[in-house]
Amino acid sequence: MNIKFKNILDCLNYKTHCPFCKEKMALYRSDSYIEYKSEEPRLRFNLSEENAVIIDTITNEVEYQTKKSLFVNTKSKYSIIFEGIKIICQNELCLRYTYIVQIQIDIKNLKINDFGLNTEYILHMDDNEIIYEIKNNYISNSTEYNIYNNDTIKYHKIPLILPDLSNIKKTIDRINNLLIIN
Ligand SMILES: [Zn+2]
């Protein structure tokens, strides 16, 4: 399965609200690596202290900044890089839904090659407090399915299962049945 996006705004709009608690989803900013203000159409990846890539979230315009280039006309040591953006549920008590978009950036030619859905991450707890974790990787077309029950954890890796976000219990039942058959 291949879900593609046309720009960063499109990536952020893939799921604007958490399918479980209905809270807003938003870009996860780790440390100072990603800089993004929703009112500005720019997202910045600080590749190092000296290098940064800035992407226009609507036009896909790519800018490569390096402090060194102020003095020397150096070329980027990077050519194509992969960056991920993580979009998480903003409700700290939920955090049951997360997705990651992979961005392929051609720094040499200052353009975006690809925006694709990389991972979708779902957590569900049933009435017996058993936690089910579904981690879908859309690049490798596989699902990691883990069950946490008290102190025991069961890990499974299976071919990709598309989740029914409107009824995640149904998806979990489906996977459990599949695991019994196999
Ligand atoms: Zn949520």
* pTM summary value: 0.90
Distance 134 CA to ligand 1 centre (A): 15
- Determine what percent of the chain is predicted with pLDDT higher than 70: 92
- Asked if 103 contacts 55 with a C-beta cutoff of 8 angstroms, the reply is yes
Distance 22 CA to ligand 1 centre (A): 6
User: Residue 181 is which amino acid?
Assistant: I
Distance 93 CA to ligand 1 centre (A): 8
Distance 18 CA to ligand 1 centre (A): 5
- In this predicted model, what pLDDT tens digit does every residue of 114-160 receive, in sequence order? 999 999 999 999 999 999 999 999 999 999 999 999 999 999 999 99
Provide the token pair at 118.
């990389």
Cα–Cα dist 89/55, whole Å: 23
Residue with tokens 């690049």: 139
Cα–Cα dist 52/123, whole Å: 34
Provide the token pair at 119.
């991972």
pLDDT at 11: 96
Cα–Cα dist 65/47, whole Å: 10
- In this predicted model, what pLDDT tens digit does every residue of 27-81 receive, in sequence order? 998 767 899 988 889 999 998 888 899 999 999 999 998 876 554 445 556 689 9
Provide the token pair at 14.
């893939």
Termini Cα distance of the chain: 23
Distance 180 CA to ligand 1 centre (A): 30
Distance 114 CA to ligand 1 centre (A): 28
Greatest alpha-carbon span in the chain: 65
Distance 98 CA to ligand 1 centre (A): 9
SS3 content of the chain, % helix, strand, coil (to 5): 10, 45, 40
Total residues found in the chain within this entry: 182
Distance 57 CA to ligand 1 centre (A): 24
pLDDT at 72: 46
pLDDT at 67: 78
Distance 111 CA to ligand 1 centre (A): 33
Backbone CA torsion sign across 164, 23, 37, 85: negative
Distance 170 CA to ligand 1 centre (A): 18
pLDDT at 73: 44
Cα–Cα dist 166/33, whole Å: 33
